[in-house]
Structure 1
Amino acid sequence: MSGEHEATPWPTGDMAGLQFVAPGRAEWMRVPVPEERAGQVLVEVERLGICGTDEHLFSGHSAYIRSGLTTYPFQPGHEFVGRVVAVAPGVRSVAVGDRVVGEPFLPCLACPVCRSGAINLCPNRAEQGVRGNVPGAAARYVRTPAANLAVVPEGVGPDAAVLAEPSVTALGALEAIAVMPGDEVAVIGTGTIGLLVVQIASALGARVTAVGIDEHGLARAEECGAIAVARPEEAPGDRFDATVEASGASPALLTASRITGPGGRIAQVGIPGGADVPVDGSSIVAKGLTITGVLGGVSHLSRAVGLIAAGVIRPELLIRHVIGWEEAPDAFGVPAGEAKPKVLVDLSALAALSGDGAADHAAGAGAERGAA
């Protein structure tokens, strides 16, 4: 889509926004509608995805919380899909009415890292709903740069589209370790990212083995295309051309270095809960392993949407259920523990409530929940 679009008034006033107010505590509150800014777009949120990053922020275990980069209270939400309701002057890439998905990275665009093109690694970056207290998408509206959005084609519903954001990490991991058809690939972890990697790598023609500790997750990995599954202690050593570590479990990098063969490549995607992670330096050196950290994959958003539209990525294999906005404050502390890892929040009902009454209703529900 190109060209100038006719201006639509930017909504003002208050709206309902979910806030993490303290470790383990979330409440709906009245918050201001984000103000218009150059290059920005206002999106009315339809679905919000909950991931492990959100759960760590909610519990207070996130490194961003521990380091003070993110502080309570703040508005979470970085996996979202919605409809554009207003665009700032000069925005040409999206129009009012478009269904869009977004990426949360907000780089400074001025530092040497940004100038090199690695904007997702910007040391000065904010991450919407994650790092730096920029309000996330757990609200009726979210404001985001037009450059961070991809338009969702007709025929792709909001439940499926919200999986585009985590899919960019899976695509970034496979690109980082140059997975090719015929490669023997291990994927450690059977959460959302791990299962997305299984689906995409299998579609690329790789022979994928899923490694994990959850029987439900391993069974789901086979449905996603894995030709074999194994528990970590059972996975064969020196077997794989490439390994994606998507669990974040403390011993997982040890497993990755053991099972990856000479000259092999490892993508570290999972973020460990603590800073101290055991590493087998001898194996890394003796086998000439290459380990690459992967943080997101901003440039892959449109490709991820296309893979969902084409049926290569099958979100229905990952989505456990969709909950209403009223249930959201209790959803961030619930571990997956089931065959399907992904929970979505339906926020579309916030728009159906009249005017400021939506904020009042949601905030009232939060107050009642806190008093219970």
Structure 2
Amino acid sequence: MRAFVVTAPGRASVRTVPVPVPGPGEVLVEVERAGVCGTDAEFFSGEMSYLHTGQAEYPMRLGHEWAGVVATLGPDVDPSWLGRHVTGDTMLGCGRCARCVDGRQHLCADRYEIGIRRGWPGALAEYLPVPVRFLHPLPSTVDAIAGALVEPGGNALRAVQAAQVRPGERLLVLGPGTIGLLCALLAAAEGVEVHVLGREEPSLAFARRLGFASSWTAETLPPVPFDGVIDASGAPGLPARAVELVEPGRRVVFIGIAGEPSPVDTRELVFKDVTAVGVLSGSAGLAGVIDRFAAGVVDPRPLVAATVGLAEVAPVLAGTRRPEWGAAPKLHVDPKR
């Protein structure tokens, strides 16, 4: 099969590799769509911290946002899975430790992460092996495009739920990227008044076209109280700004990861009685976001600017973007191209 393989910082190619053989309790998924994200770009550039802590190494196969069809069953897998449209969790916990038993498999010390951690191959390939216990069936109303947005959607749903903003209250989302806009869409669907903060006018204009008229730059942000703030930006200076902007006694949620430490004055947290929450993965939000996509409460597909083939992934990860793709933040890959 064809797969996108990163061999060193800035070096990758499409290679012919053996088709994976699913082990006991695993299936082989024929990948229909896979998303690329900032984590993939950091692995491609060599900046991702896992490369420097021994949790990942080259060569590696990227891709953790995906949807596809179950093509082959491993031993001991229920035959009813064959042919089903699915997506799945990225975080593959061991299932035995205290964290896994407690429902925190995304924090398992021995976890694999699809396309990210400990060598588990990713979805930028024609086929992907996945343990069946981490699969999520996709209803007929969720196509492959939306299905490949379930993983980032699960992250966004967890962030919105962690912010604890009620209908009619005001939420500020920092960063109009894929996660930030998914947060905005999910919160707006719950009746929350959503504001978006960004830096570049094209991305803010795109947010306005999605329906978020209250999309601002730092200079135009109105001096109104925000009942919750989600930092989905990855900018090292914005976590502290989030704490400044949130109403006393409310919550800030950190889901963006900066490339350098992000200083936050904990005295501000104490004096304002603010709760700060970090969100690592979408694991606990996957089922909920599938339900919302299936019901049409949220349509994530306008976030996809284009779908490319495997041969175009390296330029995309290096930052190349065609003008005709517009300002939508997400790019998808069809491994069959």
TM-score normalised according to structure 2 size: 0.93
> Residues 94 and 146 of structure 1 are in contact (CA less than 8 Å); yes or no, is this contact kept in structure 2?
no
- 1:169-199 deviation per Cα after TM superposition (whole angstroms, max 9, x unaligned): 0011112222321221010001000000000
**Match in the other structure for 1:9:** none
**Match in the other structure for 2:279:** 294
> Residues 47 and 348 of structure 1 are in contact (CA less than 8 Å); yes or no, is this contact kept in structure 2?
no
Using the TM superposition, give the Cα deviation of residue 320 of structure 1 relative to its aligned residue in structure 2, in angstroms.
0.6
**Match in the other structure for 2:20:** 34
> Residues 184 and 206 of structure 1 are in contact (CA less than 8 Å); yes or no, is this contact kept in structure 2?
yes
Equivalent-residue separation in structure 1 for 2:265 and 2:193 (angstroms):
25
Equivalent-residue separation in structure 2 for 1:93 and 1:121 (angstroms):
30
**Match in the other structure for 1:342:** 330
Using the TM superposition, give the Cα deviation of residue 232 of structure 1 relative to its aligned residue in structure 2, in angstroms.
2.9
Using the TM superposition, give the Cα deviation of residue 104 of structure 1 relative to its aligned residue in structure 2, in angstroms.
1.1
For 1:85-164, list aligned pairs within 5 A. Answer: 85-92=71-78, 95-164=81-150
Using the TM superposition, give the Cα deviation of residue 335 of structure 1 relative to its aligned residue in structure 2, in angstroms.
6.0
Equivalent-residue separation in structure 1 for 2:79 and 2:247 (angstroms):
44
Residue 306 (structure 1) aligned with residue 291 (structure 2): yes
1:173 pairs, out of 153, 159, 168, with 159
**Match in the other structure for 2:184:** 198
**Match in the other structure for 1:315:** 300
- How many residue pairs get matched? 334
Using the TM superposition, give the Cα deviation of residue 240 of structure 1 relative to its aligned residue in structure 2, in angstroms.
1.1
Q: Which runs of 5+ in 1 are unaligned?
A: 1-14, 350-372
1:331 pairs, out of 303, 316, 319, with 316
For 1:156-305, list aligned pairs within 5 A. Answer: 156-236=142-222, 239-274=225-260, 276-305=261-290
In structure 2, the residue corresponding to 1:272 is in which secondary structure? Answer: coil
- Over the matched positions of the two proteins, sequence identity in percent amounts to 38
> Residues 124 and 310 of structure 2 are in contact (CA less than 8 Å); yes or no, is this contact kept in structure 1?
no
Using the TM superposition, give the Cα deviation of residue 94 of structure 1 relative to its aligned residue in structure 2, in angstroms.
5.2
> Residues 78 and 137 of structure 1 are in contact (CA less than 8 Å); yes or no, is this contact kept in structure 2?
yes
Equivalent-residue separation in structure 2 for 1:227 and 1:234 (angstroms):
13
Using the TM superposition, give the Cα deviation of residue 220 of structure 1 relative to its aligned residue in structure 2, in angstroms.
2.2
Equivalent-residue separation in structure 2 for 1:102 and 1:335 (angstroms):
28
Q: Which runs of 5+ in 2 are unaligned?
A: none
For the structure 1 residues 126 and 237, does the alpha-carbon distance in structure 2 shift closer, same or farther, using more than 3 Å as the test?
Answer: farther
Using the TM superposition, give the Cα deviation of residue 307 of structure 1 relative to its aligned residue in structure 2, in angstroms.
1.8
> Residues 20 and 74 of structure 1 are in contact (CA less than 8 Å); yes or no, is this contact kept in structure 2?
yes
In structure 2, the residue corresponding to 1:190 is in which secondary structure? Answer: coil
> Residues 235 and 259 of structure 1 are in contact (CA less than 8 Å); yes or no, is this contact kept in structure 2?
no
> Residues 43 and 85 of structure 1 are in contact (CA less than 8 Å); yes or no, is this contact kept in structure 2?
yes
* Structure exhibiting the larger radius of gyration computed from Cα positions: 1
In structure 2, the residue corresponding to 1:261 is in which secondary structure? Answer: strand
**Worse-matched range after superposition: 209-218 or 186-195:** 209-218
**Worse-matched range after superposition: 183-192 or 107-116:** 107-116
**Match in the other structure for 2:57:** 71
Equivalent-residue separation in structure 2 for 1:173 and 1:296 (angstroms):
10
> Residues 238 and 261 of structure 1 are in contact (CA less than 8 Å); yes or no, is this contact kept in structure 2?
no
- 1:60-114 deviation per Cα after TM superposition (whole angstroms, max 9, x unaligned): 1111122221111111110111111112233339521111112211112233322
> Residues 70 and 130 of structure 1 are in contact (CA less than 8 Å); yes or no, is this contact kept in structure 2?
yes
